[in-house]
Amino acid sequence: MNNIPPQAEKPQRSPVRKNSSDKTCESIVPRPTENRISTDKLLNGARELIIEHTGEEYRLRITSRGKLILTK
């Protein structure tokens, strides 16, 4: 009987370098969980958001054409 819960993700195979040569071997490496948030929730109706990262301020804004721009 399968004891793995249905919501558990199967590990993805990623190429890993064996030595300094170009040859690779397959290794099972779990993929990190992806965090996702919509811009509607992130910006909460605003057109701009200030993000603090490692003591620096970054500005995330939506342009008049609907594109996202992140500036320092």
Q: What is the rounded CA–CA span in Å between residue 25 and residue 38?
A: 37
Across 18-25, average pLDDT: 56
Could you give all domains of the chain from N- to C-terminal order, each with its CATH number?
A: 12-71 (2.10.70.10)
Please tell me the number of Cα atoms within 13 Å of 35 on its side-chain side: 1
Bridging pattern class, strands 56-62 and 24-29: unpaired
**Residue 72 above 90 pLDDT?**
yes
pLDDT, position 8: 52
Please tell me the number of Cα atoms within 13 Å of 69 on its side-chain side: 10
Look up the pTM and report it.
0.51
pLDDT tens-digit readout, 24-46: 556 677 777 788 899 999 999 99
